[in-house]
Amino acid sequence: MDKFLIRGPCKIKGEVFISGSKNAALPILASTLLFDKPVTINNLPRVRDIDTMLKLLKSLGSKIQLSKNKKSVKITKSKNQKVFASYSLVKTMRAGILVLGPLIAKHHMSITSLPGGCLIGARPVNYHLNALKKLGMEYKIKKGYIHANSKGKLKGTKIKFSNVSVGATENSIIASCLAKGTTILKNCAVEPEIKDLTNFLISAGAKIKWIGKRTVQIEGVKSLNSVNYSVMSDRIETGTFCVAACLTRGNIIIKNFDPKIIQTELNLLRKIGAKIKTYDNKIYINGPNKIKSLNNIVTKEYPNFPTDLQAQFMVLLCKAKGRSIITESIFENRFMHVAELRRLGAKITVKENKAIIEGDTNFQGAELMSSDLRASAALVLAAIVANGKSIINRIYHLDRGYEKIEKKLRKIGVNIKRIS
């Protein structure tokens, strides 16, 4: 199993080119199951979750042609379409459940494994199932699989989500594209990745309209057209590199990303003392000499502060002057990195869903263990500013969501090595 060896402290300087968004690409790839005609998707990130999704699509009968650099894929429907999404492919990735909606919409039946992914909380699939049931899907859960079918086409209806759920919003939008009549979804998640999914589907002829802040209207169509589409760039990768610059008093230019998408995060970094200039597709960021503490960051649905950057910001606040507090309101099990940060010398107390961080930490290198994707990124950041050598185990979590992170870090001055 691969691990990272990092020697700190490092100072960061240079340019970073942001890869395509994993969280935007996955639902877009899943939605290609709706198409009869070929689809080309560009700006794919080269990460493990994308490989898994492509394998899953292939197992369902899609023909997959990757470009030489594996950043573009052409997906063509074969005559031999299947409806069985196996546990062996879905177990490592939460997004596996996103094939359920298009399979039911297109083939009126599916046997889909309950999903896996990071161990950061319950993340139940009942929001997906309840919404699809309202569209006309019937299902039973047997031996870890969702056995689902519909009597012919799904039928448009009104659905109000009891909780804002990214995955359930995506699954319902995808399924509604081929449903009969009009579907109105209320209390939707409105993450930029969801807007990217709807932009993709609209470009293929889907009739989708946002008619309120969290309300979307979908008129079903008979079929979707061939399309060539570029996935948006990754906002969590961008945020992670912004934090890296601030941690190390660094000075970096971030390219291939629209800064308007992460205003909340950039404003918080300005509060801690960073100097930031933004342009159409670039961010210039200068880390502060002294990092200021933040009284209470609360993770919430977009456009608020994202849970996927909570761990990275926690590392930053360990180096701040004074006490900071982070409240995690999305997942109940998302402070698993705290124990590992303490091994480096962090002073963090967890009370229910609050982490109280005493600043001025002088991190000392140590051997560490990754627990999930974003926690792994936090450990890398902490090791970059720690004194001495750190080893980070189980970095396959990082490979699920960050493209060639060690190459990008090395290029801007981090002493990092992958050991197989």
Give residue for tokens 């291939």.
256
Tell me, letter by letter, the H, E, C secondary structure of 241-298.
HHHHHHHCCCEEEEECCCHHHHHHHHHHHHHCCCEEEEECCEEEEECCCCCECCCCEE
Looking from the CA of 394 toward its CB, the CA atoms found within 13 Å total 14
Domain made up of 22-230: CATH architecture: Alpha-beta prism (3.65)
> Is 177 one of the catalytic residues?
no
Cα distance between residue 150 and residue 262, in whole Å: 40
Closest to 30 in 3D by CA, of 232, 222, 200: 200
For the chain, the structural domain boundaries read 3-19+234-419, 22-230
Domain made up of 3-19+234-419: CATH architecture: Alpha-beta prism (3.65)
Q: Is the CA virtual torsion 345, 390, 402, 145 positive or negative?
A: negative
Cα distance between residue 165 and residue 158, in whole Å: 16
Domain 3-19+234-419 matches domain 22-230 at the CATH topology level: yes
pLDDT tens over the chain, length 420 residues:
899 999 999 999 999 999 999 999 999 999 999 999 999 999 999 999 999 999 999 999 999 999 999 999 999 999 889 999 999 998 888 899 999 999 999 999 999 999 865 554 445 789 999 999 999 999 999 998 999 999 999 999 999 999 999 999 999 999 999 999 999 999 999 999 999 999 999 999 999 999 999 999 999 999 999 999 999 999 999 999 999 999 999 999 999 999 999 999 999 999 999 999 999 999 999 999 999 999 999 999 999 999 999 999 999 999 999 999 999 999 877 899 999 999 999 999 999 999 999 999 999 999 999 988 889 999 999 999 999 999 999 999 999 999 999 999 999 999 999 999
**Cβ burial, residue 393 (10 Å; 0-12/13-18/19+):** middle
Contacts of residue 345, defined as CB under 8 A and 6 or more positions apart, other chains included, come to 361, 362, 363, 364, 386
Among 118, 188, 242, 318, which one carries the catalytic annotation?
118
Structural tokens at position 357: 């961080």
Structural tokens at position 277: 């200039």
